[in-house]
Structure 1
């Protein structure tokens, strides 16, 4: 993309917006506008398409982008790794390079100035406004890929997805229209993307605001059972910040973690290896101050 276009800026709402900010704003507005048509375009076929894509793209984000690529919590064969990453691309939450980079910065600078979606900047910033602040997240875009994802950048497949990321959702929208007309597009690309996006956003905002904190993580991360369900296990966020390398985030049997169940299945059939979990010693170390910090907001 021409640097002249990337560096173009316009000022409104009391701040400067660059091309990437407006791009993300336009995409989010478009899918939200599609949702307005949902009551008038409802069919059971469209509904089940949305549910199916919610599962595929949502768990693509949690299993691939988050636990496999960002934290390297387990390994799978390349064909499966790439397939899972492609499922995540269809969530419209960014390319693997962009998503993983932002998440690694989040853990490196949790609730500090360089945290891409720090809750210290306000609830709505941590929920969605950070999406429209590309320069703050990654610095000026000079044609170079994001700096903290060298392990992914060196792979042609991830560079390809980075530069063609939006095209794949366009192709999906076309396929949905061919298969089921406007109802499939409205529910499969509108309702589904909005729900997946806000569920993911809520991990950054709600799960740093409301819930239980049982581990001494030095931040405001919380376990929230509702988003443990909706986000396929990601809502056990205090667990995750305590043991970010863990492939399992629902550490207790009663903490439902759908993503972990899939990873465990892959391990049982021999497809997932080097699956990382916290040891009992590591748990005790993090739980030393447990009684003094436990709180339910």
Structure 2
């Protein structure tokens, strides 16, 4: 089987990794209502959500896919592992898919455009499902040598990609090991597994997939781009700033996506900290002139939506 084609077993395994955490997420509400939710499980779930979520946004997306900054080797390895623990695929595969998405965004060839089937109500409902989940089951996959040759040539990233099953196991077992050790009980391990593994993975998956689906269908278009990407404010914190998706498609290499006043971008905050620590270099902070030039005219002129302030400009 070519690596550019997905086998039946791969699709079955993918389905399980989507279905099981989603079922756990659906069961989480009645479980919390009936038996309560302990603070220990919340802390474990939140910490793992932040680590793995930033592995995707800062690592997989802004660093590996778009080269928004250069990372020291230990940081590069840590970001690749943290992203792998989000269980969204190996870094080489994820990056290749996303680069192809940008090349053909909302046009023929885009792996996950919600506009794939047209713009009627039924077509958009079908397109939403395709963009959110369905595209991952496509037999034909993005050719890695064409879209991620740099990562295939990177010995560290290529090795981490090959060891993806190991990072999946670490991601799923970390919570129950911590919960079990903290309480010295199987019950503590079980509840930590429910919240810190299954529910955490499901939440992060659906937030990530919502950037593919919701952020190409609903929201505000504040910047000129060649696709239908939008900004969706209520996803900004759970997505660590990724839902300022319209600016990202207007300026893909920018290390900061939320460039207007009030647009919180936690991933950019982390990159700024890494830069000051000397672990990240050559950061591509947004250029105010370019940002202003890309503003859609009807959105200009309001002080509360003004472009990045002087303290956010590149030094």
State the TM-score, normalized to the length of structure 2.
0.81
Equivalent residues in 2 for 1:1-297 (5 A)? 3=1, 18-35=8-25, 38=28, 39=31, 42-121=37-116, 122-133=127-138, 135-138=139-142, 145-180=144-179, 181-287=189-295, 289-291=296-298
2: distance between equivalents of 1:224 and 1:5? 35
Shift of 1:272: 1.6
Q: Could you say what secondary structure the match of 2:107 adopts?
A: coil
| Alpha-carbon distance between aligned partners in 1 of 2:217 and 2:169, rounded to the nearest angstrom | 35
The alignment partner of 1:275 has SS state of coil
CA distance in 2, matches of 1:83, 1:174: 18
Deviation at 1:88, TM superposition (A): 0.9
Question: Residues 41 and 97 from structure 1, CA distance in 2 versus in 1: closer, same or farther, beyond 3 angstroms?
Answer: farther
Long gaps (5+) in structure 2:
117-126, 180-188, 301-315
CA contact (8 A) 1:138 1:146 kept: no
The 1:171/1:290 distance shift into structure 2, 3 A limit, reads: same
Given that residues 92 and 166 in structure 1 are in contact (C-alpha distance below 8 angstroms), is that contact kept between their aligned partners in structure 2?
no
Deviations 1:219-254 (A, max 9, x none): 111011111122011010001011101000010231
Separation (CA, whole Å) in 2 of partners of 1:4 and 1:277:
39
Give 1:92 shift: 0.5
Q: Is the 8 A contact 1:98 1:146 kept in 2?
A: no
Instruction: Name the CA shift for 1:247/1:6 in 2 (closer, same or farther; >3 Å).
Output: closer
- TM-score for both structures, normalised by structure 1: 0.86
State whether residues 41 and 183 of structure 1, in contact with CA within 8 Å, keep that contact through their aligned partners in structure 2. Answer: no
Is this contact kept in 2: 1:119–1:126, CA < 8 A?
Answer: yes
Aligned residues: 276
Whole-Å separation in 1 of the counterparts to 2:171 and 2:23: 18
150-159 or 232-241: bigger deviation: 150-159
DSSP 3-state at the match of 1:230: coil
Q: Determine the C-alpha separation between the residues in 1 that align with 2:285 and 2:3.
A: 45
d(CA) in 1 for partners of 2:150 and 2:247? Answer: 26
The structural deviation recorded for 1:138 is 2.1
Contact 1:35-1:190 within 8 A present in 2 as well = yes
Q: Give SS of 2:147's match.
A: coil
Q: 1:37 offset after TM fit, Å?
A: 5.2
2: CA distance, partners of 1:237 / 1:259: 13
Distance 1:26 1:115 in 2: 25
| Secondary structure at the counterpart of residue 67 of structure 2 | coil
Aligned residue in 2 for 1:13: none
**CA distance in 2 between partners of 1:146 and 1:23 (Å):** 24
